[in-house]
């Protein structure tokens, strides 16, 4: 494997251990609207997806649109992160050992990503090299966000690798023509992440050696 020119990290579930919090909050909020979602429902339909895509699924489940969802979701998510958010186990050590250019490309809004990285002490690894699905027409599983990050940083897609933890993210990496390292230590199983051009692993401390080939 050629040495990567750029490592593109997803944020939620890869850098910060936020997916479990999000799953819980989504179940709680949907219950307030009278819909009983399971953890599997949220993982299958929300994890790795952009907010507009999530709102479409909520409207399908409830039988009506819920335009107020983002305004209700953001303060609750922020409060939960302020109280509970930690870095993914082993990622701080891994980032300290990775001597390649890195960036973040997340389905979340930029302000959310910045806040998460600041809370967990990871901001200094990425600086302003942060990208959001709000910057492109189509979010994951489409490749637009990863291609936008690569183009902005002047790297050919073939020279990029993506670190992801969700099915939509892995699919987006493959569609972008980028190799993918899929982290199965979160809420999505390794079986769902496996596929062509993808290395599945479950310990972030292994990432530097995986990137080194």
Distance CA 138, CA 132 (A): 11
Q: Are the beta carbons of 182 and 165 closer than 8 angstroms?
A: yes
Percent helix, strand and coil across the chain, each rounded to 5?
50, 15, 35
**How many whole angstroms separate alpha carbon 3 and alpha carbon 69?**
43
Cα(164)–Cα(184) distance, rounded to whole angstroms? 9
Q: In the chain, which residue ranges form alpha helices assigned H by DSSP?
A: 19-32, 39-45, 51-62, 69-84, 91-97, 110-119, 144-152, 167-175, 190-193, 207-211
For this structure, is 156 an active site residue? no
DSSP structural state of residue 137: S
Q: Which residues are known to be catalytic?
A: 10, 12
């Amino acid at each position: 494997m050629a040495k990567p020119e750029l490592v593109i990290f997803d944020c939620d579930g890869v850098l910060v251990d936020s997916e479990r919090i999000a799953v819980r909050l989504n179940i709680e909020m949907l219950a307030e609207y009278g819909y009983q979602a399971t953890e599997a429902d949220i993982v299958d339909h929300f994890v790795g997806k952009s907010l507009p895509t999530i709102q479409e699924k909520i409207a399908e489940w409830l039988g009506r649109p819920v335009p107020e969802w983002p305004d209700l979701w953001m303060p609750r998510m922020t409060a939960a992160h302020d109280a509970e958010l930690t870095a993914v186990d082993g990622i701080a050590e891994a980032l300290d050992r990775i001597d390649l250019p890195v960036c973040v490309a997340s389905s979340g809004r930029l302000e959310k990503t910045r806040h998460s990285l600041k809370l967990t002490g990871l901001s200094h690894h990425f600086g302003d090299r942060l990208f959001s699905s709000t910057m492109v027409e189509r979010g994951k599983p489409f490749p637009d966000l990863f291609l936008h990050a690569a183009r902005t940083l002047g790297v050919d897609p073939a020279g990029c690798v993506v670190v992801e933890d969700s099915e939509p993210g892995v699919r987006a990496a493959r569609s972008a023509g980028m190799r993918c390292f899929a982290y199965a230590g979160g809420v999505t199983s390794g079986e769902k992440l496996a596929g062509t051009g993808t290395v599945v692993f479950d310990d972030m401390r292994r990432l530097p050696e995986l990137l080194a080939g």
